[in-house]
Amino acid sequence: MAIDFLSQTVTELAEAVRGGEVTATALVQHALERIDALNGPLNAFVALDAEAALVEAKRQDDCIAAGEPLGPLAGIPLGVKDLEDAMGFVTTRGSAAFADGPSATRDSALVERLKAAGAIVVGKTNTPELAYMADTVNATFGPTRNPWNVEHSPGGSSGGSAAAVAAGMVPLATASDGGGSIRIPAALCGLPGFKPSLGRVPSGGAHAPDWHHLSSKGVQARTVADTVVALDAVLGPDPTDLRSLPMPEPSWLGAIEGAHLPAKVAWSPTLGYAEVDKEVAAICERAVGRLSDLGVEIVEVPTVFPHDPVGAWLTLTSAYNARTLAPFRGTEVWDRIDPRLRALVDNFGAGSAEALVKAEDVGHELNLRLVELFHDARILLTPTTAAAAPRSGEAGMVNGKASSAWVSFTYPFNMTRSPAGSVCAGFTAAGLPVGLQLVGPQHGDMIVLRTMAAIEAALPPSGRPPIAS
């Protein structure tokens, strides 16, 4: 059996391993060869352990030969975002503060569950320092590049994972989303991306989560079905996670079988405050028009929120990062922290307890607006980003002007803890992918996933990035 991570699904590959058509060793070897061939220009992986991965693959092959059952992710090579603990690897968080730390002695709950389902960790993927921005670049490992155009960013903070999957280095990688960090890289790399409701995938462990009330764990994969297969293996509560939700009763994979478009959706081109690149706006409008052609009633909502909640979001994230970096203030390591991150920590993270609580209150206020909106529509659609992928290391451009507002569509839905996803809506004239965001009501994960699957089937496939062809 020929192996091609760009055309074969996770389910097909795992079934082939369990059925003896291909070995787990062959899948891991293929991943290592792809990484060797493509990681130079992309810099998606920052650490590998080929020996340990091949040992685990051989163990699985021996299980198959002995007739022992393996899980739904049997033999699937896995990249782990470098904010997540994977046994034997240093969790650097993309930061000089942690790059020289000890190797993890146990897996995070997410990695542990993926491995229990049969996934095989091959290495760690790049992330911006402490996930503080949407461009995957840091002083420790340098920038990750976009497989569709290596001059451009894959987004962040799960940019290493998204680039690795989009280029076919691995079929699956872990990700997390505290302000768009799954959805933004997915949009910029031509992938689907889904942020589960906060607490669906556990974030517990020996230490408190880095971004308590904002960050949801998930995966990057090439299709909605692959995403759901992986999530089905990791959903459910964990006693160490104060925010974990009960196990959903039906299988999420079953929920997307025969997926259909909802009768009515809300469409907000700007959320009420975002300035959107004209080409990106036109591509998203065409995608929404295609849904209308297929019978979906589109209700345009010019203003979802009365103002951009970025100040409150920055207050929360900067306070979280200030806590993480507190032990390094006054040491030589402090000077090696990205100066932009230090400035955010100083300007927003040094606020009062009252300011922090007021920032949390904003999430409640935003959700009240969504409760009202979802009385009339099942799903909210928006652009995922306000512009296409910026050049690597740059803040982004909106209508020809430098701006960080290109990511202003995603973080409101971390503050509301809403399930939210992104699907590929089309491509710019320069060949860069553009994402369409889907947001659902509280705990309406299956509604979002079902709609993502239906839109994925209705819109043209994203195809193969030039670097991977």
Write out the catalytic residue numbers. 81, 157, 181
Contact 154, 189 (CB under 8 A): yes
Q: How far is CA 218 from the centre of its chain?
A: 6
Cα separation of 222 and 202, whole Å? 23
What's 106's DSSP letter? S
Nearest to 388 by CA among 436, 429, 428: 428
Contact 91, 187 (CB under 8 A): no
Residue type, 146: N
Is 154 strand, coil or helix? coil
Scored b (16 or more CB within 10 A) or e, 315-352 reads: bbbbbbbbebbeebeeeebeebbbeebbebbeebbebe
Give the sign of the dihedral formed by CA 27, CA 454, CA 449, CA 300: positive
Contact 252, 231 (CB under 8 A): yes
Give the burial class of 355: count Cβ atoms within 10 A of its Cβ; 0-12 exposed, 13-18 middle, 19 or more buried: middle
Q: What are the Cα distances from residue 332, in Å, to 140, 239, 298, 335, 344?
A: 15, 38, 56, 6, 19
Contact 302, 295 (CB under 8 A): no
Q: What are the Cα distances from residue 20, in Å, to 52, 171, 175?
A: 22, 19, 30
Q: What are the Cα distances from residue 346, in Å, to 3, 314, 468?
A: 49, 11, 41
List % helix, strand, coil for the chain (3-state, nearest 5): 35, 15, 50
Nearest to 263 by CA among 239, 293, 237, 295: 295
